[in-house]
Amino acid sequence: MTCFIFNEKRDVLLFENNGHYTVPELQDLAPLQLHFEHPFLTVADQHLTTFVTDTPTLLPGWHFVDLRSACFTLDPPYFELLNRAAQAISWLQENQYCGCCGQALLADTIQPHETYAKYCPNCAAQHYPRVSPSMIVCVTRNDEILLAHGAQFRKNMYSLLAGFVEPAESLEACVHREVMEEVGITVKNVQYVCSQSWPFPHSLMCGFTADYDSGDIKVDGKEIIDAQWFKRDKMPDVLPVHLSIAWRLINDFMLK
């Protein structure tokens, strides 16, 4: 049975063999002498996840790999599983006390197979994993696409504009607001395309397309360092990874 083991930084335990990383099976863990903080949770019926109290000295070949690197290092079928496991672990770590009465939420109150809810033994409040809605948008102007370099991006990488939905805000309103805040332009014809769960930290990314309406690019200088219009034959050297919704939206533009 596949096991996703995290440390408290949400790095995931993987085994390396000649540069190829794999997720351990349950029987692989016995020699490692790991000290688990919580019992295993079940992820997608046939997979387990938990996290350790500290990062132990590991045997050769075993590594704790940061979550973002692990998502794009493993074979594609593992992406969704690792995504779900990482969000389950985030929920475990961030919800140890009841937000209503302050009572500790005990490990044996976890109900992983049905609702992924924790229950407070004092006031009976139910606590569910947090999911944060966000939008990502492919803005085009005739045969050009708007791409931006974010402050947290790796060197030379450009991607689409994105942002979290605020309370009482629709997804479409979020598109208009984030585009204006980050690059100072207005858009029109906002259309929903697709969505993707994203474990950084616990997002539901809702993908849109939009047409340029008015204004000149003026980056905010905080979240966005640079933004430009790009033609299909002159795209940036570094784009989002192929598993991401950002890549799907960019690729759709490229194929038109």
Give DSSP secondary structure letters for 212-247. Answer: EEE------SSSEEEEEEEEGGG--SB---TTSHHH
What are 125-145's pLDDT values in tens digits? 988 888 999 999 999 999 999
Closest C-alpha among 83, 52, 85, 88 to residue 68 = 83
Please say if the pLDDT value at position 111 is more than 70: no
Say if residue 246 is in the same domain as residue 139: yes
Q: pLDDT class for 107, splitting at 50, 70, 90? A: low
Helical H segments across the chain, by residue range: 67-73, 77-94, 171-183, 245-255
Say if residue 147 is in the same domain as residue 250: yes
Count CB neighbours of 239 within 10 A. Answer: 19
Count CB neighbours of 64 within 10 A. Answer: 18
Q: Residue 57: how many CA atoms within 13 Å on its side-chain side?
A: 0
Say if residue 114 is in the same domain as residue 9: no
Buried b (16+ CB within 10 A) or exposed e, 99-108: eeeeeebeee
Number of domains in the chain: 3
Query: 155, 200 in Cβ contact below 8 A?
Result: no
The pLDDT mean for the chain works out to 90
Burial label, 152 (beta-carbon count in 10 A; 0-12, 13-18, 19+): exposed
pLDDT of amino acid 55: 66
Say if residue 80 is in the same domain as residue 157: no
pTM: 0.85
Average pLDDT, stretch 82-104?
Answer: 89
Coil/strand/helix, residue 32: helix
Say if residue 30 is in the same domain as residue 142: no
Task: State which of 104, 129, 154 marks the end of a domain.
Answer: 129
What are 200-233's pLDDT values in tens digits? 889 999 999 999 999 999 999 999 999 999 999 9
Say if residue 75 is in the same domain as residue 183: no
Residue 68 φ then ψ, to 5°: -65, -45
CATH code, 24: 3.90.79.10
Say if residue 247 is in the same domain as residue 138: yes
Task: State which of 111, 129, 147 marks the end of a domain.
Answer: 129
The conformation of residue 5, written as its DSSP 8-state character, comes to E
Say if residue 102 is in the same domain as residue 161: no
Say if residue 186 is in the same domain as residue 122: no
Instruction: Specify the higher pLDDT residue, 44 or 20.
Output: 20
Task: State which of 94, 118, 145 marks the end of a domain.
Answer: 94
Quote the domain boundaries for residue 78. Answer: 2-94
Say if residue 115 is in the same domain as residue 198: no
Say if residue 143 is in the same domain as residue 30: no
Nearest-angstrom CA–CA distance, 78 and 42: 15
Q: Which residues share a beta bridge with 41?
A: 49
Question: Position of tokens 């000649």?
Answer: 18
Distances (CA, A) of 129 to 26, 86, 97, 189, 237: 25, 11, 13, 33, 37
Say if residue 143 is in the same domain as residue 122: no
Residues 6+ apart with CB under 8 A from 165: 132, 133, 134, 135, 171, 174
Residues 6+ apart with CB under 8 A from 21: 14, 15, 63, 65, 70, 73, 74
Please say if the pLDDT value at position 108 is more than 60: no
Buried b (16+ CB within 10 A) or exposed e, 18-47: eeebebbeeeebeeeebeebbebbebeeeb
